[in-house]
């Protein structure tokens, strides 16, 4: 057999035995450390087979990494797979901790089994060749085994950490979903034993950050605490809008232990540390924007989220790209009492017999697409469609119609976050007030006039008329463009202009559209009339 010179120039294999030239073990150990660095830092991680084959090239023997259960986790390219069976007794003694190493023969090969860790049960490195390794080659193999063990533990720790992050992300998302459904008690039950500080807050604000999709998980992990939350906040990537990063922050927290709120303030009011951090992120990232809601009870997180969405639509058109919600009181709070709750109770009464999941889906479906609801609740889109169909049949509504969704959204807002429909003992007898009667009140008329005022003449070409026709076309931009004789892109451009004028998000969140539907109805320009 001829001489085959191996990588590195310091070794040769003659008749299956390694020959070392000029004492190159030190150089190979240096290269081994380089392999360790590459192995530990590679993304995706380097497989152990690559290190075993590197070792094979420099020793002429075959190698196997065997787990503490006796299973081959990785082998060099020429390792005989049937060799492990006759080695079971020796493997058991080394993996079990009885011996640190053992040399034996199997199937005519010289075999060396060496433990890679001190604590049993432990993985081992199996070396097999036509002859035992000489001193230098054995030292290289032993060092390589240590490298593999260190890298293996590092990757196991990384997998454990990644698994923890995945579970923490799932739990945060479940808590957020419960809050969006108006059920803080469910969120607390999910976190029994480690209830996050946010769920003890009286009021919250939602901060909606527009950022690159790839930044969202990084931001959530960067500001995560040891419990898997974010202090008195909750940060989750939006499952519906890939550029949205949702931050629910407690609004009634005092300064954290150890210091004030970083000295940051807004109009003289100290900011929560996460609030200040988010504002700094926008300042240092020109493609970021931030919308901040007003304060809301914890059970009204969905309302706060809608406000943050409207504020974000405004923020994206401002020089500093940050906007706090400065909107008027919502229509639901202006309608007369007790007439408005009576109407809402009667409107929602048919849903009393529906499963709770139907109620949860309906609450979300008025403001989120069906695929978005499916992602929020972790169910299939077909399941969402089935429950919406059940709700439509009970309510006598077609929820693909924007006007029906607007009415349902208003009823849910008036009913608030409490149980609905109201208990039978609290329901009014006889026919309740109609929605038209509620919308004829002076407060509603003033609200509608203020909302539509920036649009000027709704009949003249421009954002106002486009918005009106778009709603008449059931928010179908292509159909609105056909009716107006303009392109779909022009329709969307007009709607973007209307967003800036109205301080409402019209193209991402539906609550802004619902406000316009009601305002047009109150003003006498009822869509479709």
CATH number, domain at 79?
Answer: 3.30.450.40
pLDDT at position 326 over 50:
yes
The C-alpha angle with vertex 79 and arms to 18 and 10, in degrees rounded to 5, equals 25
Q: Residue 246 and residue 453: Cα distance in Å, rounded?
A: 31
Domain identity same for 143 and 51: yes
pLDDT for the residue 254: 42
Regarding whether 145 and 13 lie in a shared domain, the answer is yes
Average pLDDT over every residue of 457-470: 82
> Do the Cβ atoms of 106 and 86 come closer than 8 Å?
yes
- Structural domain contains residue 320: yes
CA atoms within 13 A on the CB side of 512: 28
Same domain, 381 and 401: yes
Q: Note the pLDDT of residue 150.
A: 78
Instruction: Work out the angle between the directed axes of helices 463-472 and 511-523 (0-180°, nearest 10).
Output: 100
17 and 149 within one domain: yes
The dihedral sign for the CA sequence 503, 509, 511, 514: positive
What is d(CA 168, CA 171) in angstroms, rounded to the nearest whole number? Answer: 5
Q: How confident is the model at residue 151 (pLDDT cuts 50, 70, 90)?
A: confident
The answer to whether 297 touches 203, Cβ cutoff 8 Å, is: yes
Contact, 399 vs 408, CB < 8 A? yes
Per DSSP, 228 falls in state S
286, 319 in Cβ contact below 8 A?
Answer: no
CATH number, domain containing residue 461: 1.10.10
Binning pLDDT at 50, 70 and 90, where does residue 353 land? confident
Q: In terms of C-beta density within 10 A (0-12 exposed, 13-18 middle, 19 or more buried), how is residue 258 classed?
A: exposed
Q: Counting every residue, how long is the chain?
A: 529
Does some domain include residue 167? no
175, part of any domain: no
**Beta strands at 289-292 and 322-324: parallel, antiparallel or unpaired:** parallel
- Residue 416's pLDDT is 74
pLDDT of residue 36: 62
333 and 319 together in one domain: no
Res 142: pLDDT: 83
**Both 395 and 288 in a single domain?**
no
Query: How confident is the model over 451-460, as a mean pLDDT?
Result: 78
d(CA 528, CA 243) in angstroms, rounded, equals 34
The residue among 457, 527, 468 whose CA lies nearest residue 494 is: 468
H/E stretch holding 155 reads helix 135-180
Residue 120 has φ and ψ, to the nearest 5°, of: -90, 155
Does some domain include residue 163? no
Helix (H) or strand (E) holding 444: helix 442-452
Interatomic CA distance for residues 73 and 88, integer angstroms: 15
Segment (H or E) for 66: strand 62-66
Which of 84-88, 125-129, 259-263, 325-329 shows the lowest mean pLDDT across its residues?
259-263
CA neighbours within 13 Å on the CB side: how many for 331? Answer: 31
Strands 289-292, 62-66: pairing kind: unpaired
Is the link from the previous residue into 92 a cis peptide, with omega within 30 of 0? no
Q: What angle do the packed helices 511-523 and 402-415 form, to 10 degrees?
A: 100
Number of domains in the chain: 4
Q: pLDDT band for 228, please (50, 70, 90 cuts).
A: confident
Residue 106 has pLDDT above 80, yes or no: yes
Average pLDDT, the chain: 81
Q: Which DSSP letter does residue 230 get?
A: B
Closest to 130 (Cα-Cα) out of 68, 78, 207: 78
Asked whether residue 485 is domain-assigned, the answer is yes
Residue 460 confidence (pLDDT) above 70: yes
Assess whether 93 and 144 both reside in one domain: yes
- pLDDT attached to residue 211: 94
174 domain-assigned? no
Cα–Cα dist 186/177, whole Å: 10
Phi, psi torsion values for 169, nearest 5 degrees = -65, -40
Among the three residues 291, 312, 327, which one is the final residue of a domain in this structure? 327
- φ, ψ for residue 505, nearest 5 deg: -85, 120
Domain stops at, among 327, 356, 373: 327
Query: Using CA atoms, how far apart are residues 381 and 376, in angstroms rounded to an integer?
Result: 11
Q: What percent of the chain has pLDDT over 70?
A: 82
Enumerate residues 6+ apart whose C-beta is below 8 A from 160. none
Residue 265's pLDDT is 39
Residue 171 falls within a domain, yes or no? no
Residue 259 has pLDDT above 70, yes or no: no
In this structure, what DSSP letter does residue 321 have?
-
Judge if 401 and 425 occupy the same domain. Answer: yes
pLDDT at 208 over 90: yes
| Integer Cα distance of 187 and 174 in angstroms | 8
88 and 140 assigned to the same domain: yes
Position 423 pLDDT exceeds 60: no
Q: Which domain holds residue 140?
A: 4-158
Per-residue pLDDT averaged across 265-290, rounded? Answer: 75
- Between CA 410 and CA 306 the distance in angstroms is 13
Question: Domain check: are 235 and 366 in the same one?
Answer: no
Question: With contact defined as beta carbons under 8 Å apart, do 284 and 273 qualify?
Answer: no
Q: What is the mean pLDDT of residues 10-34?
A: 53
pLDDT value at residue 3: 28
CB count in 10 Å sphere of residue 45: 15
CATH number of the CATH domain containing 225? 3.30.70
For residues 307 and 233, membership in a common domain is answered with yes
Instruction: Tell me if 137 is assigned to some domain.
Output: yes
Are the CB atoms for 298 and 184 separated by under 8 Å?
A: yes
The residue among 294, 327, 360 that closes a domain is 327
Q: Are residues 395 and 415 in the same domain?
A: yes
């Amino acid at each position: 057999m001829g001489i085959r010179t191996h990588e590195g120039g310091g070794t040769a294999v003659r008749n299956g035995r390694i020959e070392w030239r000029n004492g190159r073990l030190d150089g190979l150990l240096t290269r081994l450390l380089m392999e360790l660095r590459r192995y530990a830092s590679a993304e995706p991680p380097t497989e152990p087979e690559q290190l075993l084959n590197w070792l094979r090239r420099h020793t002429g023997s075959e190698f196997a990494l065997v787990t503490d259960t006796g299973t081959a986790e990785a082998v060099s390219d020429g390792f005989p797979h049937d060799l492990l069976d006759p080695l079971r007794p020796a493997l058991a003694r080394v993996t079990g901790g009885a011996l640190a190493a053992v040399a034996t023969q199997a199937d005519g090969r010289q075999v060396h089994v060496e433990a890679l860790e001190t604590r049993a049960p432990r993985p081992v490195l199996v070396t097999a060749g036509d002859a035992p390794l000489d001193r230098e080659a054995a030292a290289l193999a032993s060092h390589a085994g240590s490298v593999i063990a260190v890298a293996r533990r590092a990757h196991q720790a990384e997998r454990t950490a990644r698994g923890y992050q995945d579970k923490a992300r799932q739990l945060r998302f479940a808590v957020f979903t419960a809050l969006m459904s108006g059920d803080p008690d469910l969120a607390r039950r999910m976190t029994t034993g480690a209830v996050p500080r946010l769920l003890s807050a009286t009021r919250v604000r939602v901060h909606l950050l527009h950022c690159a999709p790839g930044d969202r998980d990084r931001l959530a992990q960067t500001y995560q605490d040891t419990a898997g939350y974010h202090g008195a906040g909750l940060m989750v990537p939006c499952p519906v809008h890939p550029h949205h990063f949702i931050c629910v922050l407690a609004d009634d927290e005092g300064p954290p232990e150890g210091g004030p709120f970083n000295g940051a303030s807004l109009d003289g009011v100290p900011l929560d540390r996460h609030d200040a951090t988010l504002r700094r992120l926008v300042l240092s990232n020109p493609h970021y924007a931030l919308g901040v809601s007003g304060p809301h009870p914890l059970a009204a997180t969905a309302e706060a989220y809608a406000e943050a969405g409207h504020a974000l639509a405004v923020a994206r058109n401002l020089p500093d790209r940050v906007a706090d919600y400065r909107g008027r009181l919502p229509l639901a709070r202006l309608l007369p009492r007790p007439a408005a709750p009576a109407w809402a109770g009667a409107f929602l009464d048919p849903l009393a017999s529906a499963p709770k999941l139907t109620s949860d889906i309906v609450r979300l479906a008025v403001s989120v697409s069906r695929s978005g609801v499916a992602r929020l609740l972790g169910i299939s889109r077909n399941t969402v469609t089935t429950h919406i169909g059940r709700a439509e049949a009970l309510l006598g509504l077609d929820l693909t119609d924007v006007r029906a969704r607007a009415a349902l959204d208003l009823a849910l807002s008036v009913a608030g976050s409490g149980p609905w429909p109201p208990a039978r003992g609290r329901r009014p007898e006889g026919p309740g007030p109609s929605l038209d009667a509620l919308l004829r009140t002076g407060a509603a008329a003033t609200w509608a006039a203020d909302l539509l005022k920036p649009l000027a003449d709704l009949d003249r070409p421009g954002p106002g008329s486009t918005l009106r026709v778009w709603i008449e076309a059931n928010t179908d931009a292509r159909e609105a463009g056909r009716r107006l004789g303009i392109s779909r892109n022009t329709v969307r451009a007009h709607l973007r202009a209307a967003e800036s004028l109205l301080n409402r998000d019209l193209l991402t969140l539906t609550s802004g559209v619902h406000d316009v539907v009601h305002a047009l109805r109150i003003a006498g320009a009822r869509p479709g009339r």
